[in-house]
Structure 1
Amino acid sequence: MDMTTGSNESKSRYLRYLEIVTGSLEEKKRYRRYKARVKRLPDNYRIAVEALERYLMHFGPADGAGAMEMYEDLADLFEQSAADATPIRDLFGDDPIEFAETFMANYPLGQYRARERHRFASAVARAAGDTTPPQGRTV
């Protein structure tokens, strides 16, 4: 199959299809820039950021721009902390989990997680015989 086309419309359609399958190319570029920034941090800050990143990937926003905004802000925070020589413990405090949860609270959940939370809360409400839609942390 020949992927080269004579028209921009066909190429544009192909790129749109490719992004549907593989995800946004711009988001991939942003992620690579973020990873390069983290790699340039001093070792102790890099280790801390990578640990926090692993945690955020499991519990933070799960998709697209919301996640990338969070990671870019994370890089900003650690770059500034390294420049100011802020001790890691001063940055995280006594409870790293509380720090991570507070940090994540500033960003919306990914669409998938918000949808699944709503689906779960609705199913429990139906099972309990509730007639009103679920309230609370569904998004």
Structure 2
Amino acid sequence: MTWIEKLTGSLEQKRRYKQDRRRMEALPAPYGAAAMAMHRYFMYYGGLTDGDTLLTMMGDLADLWERAAADGTPVRDIVGSDPVEFAETFAESYTGTRWIDKERARLIRAMDEAAGGEPS
């Protein structure tokens, strides 16, 4: 790892992320719009802090919509009647450390420190 990567993160991960994003942006309508809508949702919902897991998820998302476009599968046949449930189920299938995991651990530590020697 170079000194710049220590400051900014892995350049290879950034390259892969941009490549997958371009794949989604290049999809024909309505698949590109659906893929980018899910991508945006994942940036808020997913909360993954592990770059490799996030890259795997984004690559799989691009694969999903490329395959749907190639097959002509209707968007609703992919996401069903509840796109939020579909997106969250999709995201939850990827393991990794999420931002909320770090905050949960921080809260537990803070409560342990605040309680000091109090019985649980």
Q: What's the TM-score, normalizing by structure 1? A: 0.73
For residue 88 of structure 1, the aligned residue among 55, 61, 75 is: 75
- CA offset at residue 19 of structure 1? 0.9
Q: Which runs of 5+ in 1 are unaligned?
A: 1-11, 132-139
- Indicate the residue corresponding to 1:66 in structure 2: 53
The CA distance in 1 between the partners of 2:91 and 2:84, in whole Å, is 10
Residue 43 of structure 2 is aligned to residue 50 of structure 1: no
Q: Which amino acid aligns with 2:17?
A: Y
- CA offset at residue 21 of structure 1? 1.0
- Indicate the residue corresponding to 2:101 in structure 1: 114
Residue 7 of structure 2 is aligned to residue 21 of structure 1: yes
Query: Is the alpha carbon distance of 1:43 and 1:62 closer, same or farther for their aligned partners in structure 2, counting shifts above 3 Å?
Result: farther
Q: Which amino acid aligns with 2:101?
A: A
- CA offset at residue 35 of structure 1? 1.7
Query: Is the alpha carbon distance of 1:36 and 1:130 closer, same or farther for their aligned partners in structure 2, counting shifts above 3 Å?
Result: farther
Instruction: Report sequence identity in percent.
Output: 43
Determine which structure has more spread, i.e. the larger CA radius of gyration: 1
- CA offset at residue 66 of structure 1? 0.9
- CA offset at residue 90 of structure 1? 1.0
Q: Deviations over 1:58-81 (max 9, x none)?
A: 111234111111000000111111
Q: Which runs of 5+ in 2 are unaligned?
A: none
Q: What's the TM-score, normalizing by structure 2? A: 0.83
Moved over 6 A (4+): 127-130
Helix, strand or coil for the counterpart of 1:43?
Answer: coil
The CA distance in 1 between the partners of 2:19 and 2:95, in whole Å, is 22
- Indicate the residue corresponding to 1:136 in structure 2: none
- Indicate the residue corresponding to 1:98 in structure 2: 85
For residue 76 of structure 1, the aligned residue among 42, 63, 72 is: 63
Query: Is the alpha carbon distance of 1:125 and 1:48 closer, same or farther for their aligned partners in structure 2, counting shifts above 3 Å?
Result: same
- Please provide the CA RMSD for this pair: 2.3
The higher-RCO structure (CA 8 Å, 6+ apart) is 2
Q: Deviations over 1:41-70 (max 9, x none)?
A: 112111111111111011112341111110
